Structures are given as C-alpha cells and as structure tokens.
Amino acid sequence: MADDLDTPLKTRQGADVAHRAGRSLLALVTAVLAAVLLLAVSWVVIHDDPLGGEPKHVVKIEQIIPAAPQTKQSSAPANVPQNQPKQADGDQRTVTIIDGNTGARRQIVIGEKQSQAIPPSAAEKEPTHKVPPADNRLIETTKHGPIPKVGSDGVRPLDAYASPIPVSGNADSMIAIVITGLGVSASATGEAISKLPAAVTLGFAPFGEELTRWITRARATGHEVLLQIPMEPFDYPDNDPGPRTLTVKSPKDQNIDRLHFFLSRSQGYVGVANLMGARFTANEEALSAVLAETGKRGLLFLDDGSSPRSVTLKAAAKTKAPYLKSDLVVDAKTEWADIDAALVRLEAIAVEKGVAVATASALPVTIERIARWAKTLEARGIRLVPVSVAFQRKPKQS
C-alpha cells in the first residue's frame, strides 16, 4: 500500500502551500468583517445616534406657563363635561332610575356634595315673589330634622305654600300639569323654571345637596312645588328609586320613618307625589298608611298616573286624605307629535270633567312642547292652574 514515503517530495510541498494559502484568505476575510463591525459600533458611540442613521428633525419645545386665574372659581378639566356625575365615594351611592313609561335611564349620585350652578336659562326668569322662610307654626322637629305639620290654627302646608299667583275668573275648564324628577339635573331644572309658565307645578326628587335652593327659586318665580317620595316598583331592586325606598314588605313604622326622612329634606312644598312605586301604590294597606300620614300633616298626595294598578282612590277614600290622581302622562311617548296629541287629549278631559291633571318628565322636548301649548290655551277657554287649585276645583273621582 502506498504511503507518504511513496509520495514524491514536490507533490507534498505543493499541497501544503495551497492549504496555508486558504487559511490565510479566511483569516483576511474575518479580519475585514471585524474591522467593518468595529467601525460601525464606533460611529454610533462617537456620534451618539441611537436611531442608527434614520432621518430625524429637531424641534424646540417651549414650556408655556399658564396665566394666573383672575377669579377663585376653578374650571372643569378639559374634555370632561361639567355635568358629568362624579364617581361616588365614601357614603355616596349611585342609583339608576328607569322611567317606567319611556324606559329612559338616569343615574343619580346620592349624598354627593356637588355645586349645581344655576344655568343662564334659569337666570333669565327673574324672581316675582319674595319667598319667606318656612313657617315655624307648620314645622315639627324630628330625629331627621324639621317636617311639615298642620298649625295649631288649622292652617295646612297645602294652604300656606300654595302659589301666590291669583287665578282670576271662573273658567269652566282647568288643567294642572306637574313636571316631575327635578332637582337632579341642574340644566333640566333650570329649563323648567325658566321656560314654563308659573302655573305649572314642579315636582322634585328628594336627592341632592341643592334641593332647598332649587325649591326656593321655583317658588320665587311663582311655581308650586311637590316633593317626590321613592316607592317600590314591581321590579325592585333591579329598578331602584333610591335609598330608603318605601316597600310593601317593610313594617308600617319603618315606612313612616322613611317618609319622615324624605319630608325633612326641605320645606315649602304643598304635597308629595310618588317617585316610581307601581307595586307600592297597588298595595292598599301600605299606601293607606302613607296617605293617613300625609293627610294628618296637611299635605296633598298626587298619584302620578303612571300605573294602572294604583289603588290611590280607595286608600284616599279610607283615610280622607287630600289627593289628586293624574289623568295621563304627557310624555309616555317622547316624540313631539305624541306629546302634542296627549295635550289635545288632556284638553278634552278638562272640557268633559271641568278639571284635568297630568304629569310629565323634564325632557327638553316635553318642556318645549308644553311651553308652546300653554301660550294658546286660554284662547280655547281653558286655564292652566297649580295643583292646589285643581284640588279645590276637582270633581269627585272614582
């Protein structure tokens, strides 16, 4: 077998030279690549360009120092609606109220100490009457605070706080309209006070720190006022009127105590009305206990007419309490044409019975249509009156 000893010397030397040349070329290529890489790294480090040569443009940004505010009033944060409710904290609670007629949802923060500035629209209607402080003769002190009562001379809050606007003449037909759910939205409350005739009665929910201020402003512009009492609907607590809701399963004493709590929220109203409460107003025993208490305190009770199952007439007959029951809800359907049609039906009821009563929410379209309609009412021989007048003139209801 042939081996290296058999290989010619010149042949072995040529192979060694070729092998060494190949290794030298590989080393050279490696050295070149290392040099290129080192050069690139050095360039980045020396020039401090983390963008690696990508195009760039330098812009000078100057800090703008805002001017000092001219007033002590703080503005709302940018891009945040000023009427957006704050998140409830501490002992605050957010309640969603669902209108049983329209299905509209509205969130209320209970116990929120917010300042509801009166919007410009409300300021357009100047006060026409000086509102005296609550009459001490008509106040009883309770653990919740002052609540209405009949005076020792027999004067009732229904009489003492009635609208001072005189109702002249003896119109054959009268209509009373109550706008409910006020005091929660500053804008809606301001619009109702500003745009609606003084003869329209305003119903306030018992929530919010500004309740007394709104009631005072409403009365100062001639409006009569009702206080709404949260009562149990059929789908309670999924549909929740708010804390301390009067319920059919609560003991009578507990419901009366809750009623006293709501009555203590403010003064100056002629009566109360149900806030929701389809199930509660359908229970004669529970409702009778409440009407006995409101009647004893000289307050009118208004059934808002939203529930066909209501037994208000029976409960009022049993307790002899002053009451009214709404004949219809003006904006049960919220299209303007439907609202106008409801107002036409209301006129027909007034002509037939002599007195008609209706409730409505504070939707902008509702306020606009009622305000427009009211301007033409007397031309048709019908007078718009507060609820206290409707109560005095009402026919026997059955």
Tens-place pLDDT, residues 23-43:
666 666 666 666 656 655 554
Sign (positive or negative) of CA dihedral 115, 119, 122, 127: positive
Cβ–Cβ < 8 Å for 97, 276: yes
Q: Which domains does the chain have, with CATH numbers?
A: 138-393 (3.20.20.370)
Residue 209: per-residue pLDDT: 80
Q: Which two tokens stand for residue 158?
A: 């229904």
Cα angle 146-293-240, degrees, rounded to a multiple of 5: 80
Q: How far from 50 is each of 47, 300, 333, CA to CA, in Å?
A: 9, 79, 65
> Residue 394 — very low, low, confident or very high, per pLDDT cuts 50/70/90?
confident
Which residue carries 């957006």 as its tokens? 84
Torsion 264-270-276-280 (CA) sign: positive
Burial class (CB in 10 A: 0-12, 13-18, 19+), 370: buried
- Residue 346: C-alpha distances to residues 174, 332, 340 (Å): 10, 13, 10
Residue among 259, 112, 244 at smallest CA distance from 183: 112
Answer whether residue 388 shows pLDDT above 50.
yes
Q: Measure the CA–CA gap between 321 and 317, rounded to whole angstroms.
A: 7
* Sign of the CA dihedral running 225, 230, 231, 233: positive
Token duo for residue 337: 């044409």
Among positive and negative, which fits the CA dihedral 82, 87, 88, 90?
negative
State pLDDT tens for residues 112-130.
444 445 555 444 567 777 8
Distance of CA 290 to the CA centre of its chain: 26
Q: Per-residue confidence at 54, pLDDT binned at 50, 70, 90?
A: very low
For residue 242, the one-letter residue type is G
pLDDT at residue 96 tops 90: no
Q: What is the CA radius of gyration of the chain?
A: 39
pLDDT at 98: 54
- Rounded to whole angstroms, how far apart are CA atoms 119 and 254? 38
Average pLDDT over residues 314-339: 98
Helix (H, G, I), strand (E, B) or coil at 25: helix
Stated length of the chain: 398
And the tokens for 24? Answer: 């030298």
Confidence at 80, pLDDT banded by 50, 70, 90: very low
| Nearest C-alpha neighbor of 358 from the set 230, 163, 203 | 203
d(CA 161, CA 219): 9
For the record, the structure tokens of 152 come out as 């020792």
The CA-CA-CA angle for residues 162, 164, 166, to 5°, reads 110
Within 10 Å of residue 67's Cβ, how many Cβ atoms? 6
Q: Work out the percent of the chain whose per-residue pLDDT is above 70.
A: 67
Distance CA 257, CA 259 (A): 5
pLDDT of residue 164: 82
Q: Region 41-62: what's the mean pLDDT?
A: 46
Give 152's DSSP letter.
Answer: T
Provide the strand spans (E) within the chain.
93-98, 105-110, 139-142, 145-148, 173-182, 201-204, 225-231, 271-276, 300-303, 323-325, 328-329, 355-360, 382-384
Taking the model in full, what pTM does it have? 0.71
Residue 149 and residue 146: Cα distance in Å, rounded? 9
CA proximity to 158, closest of 261, 263, 272: 272
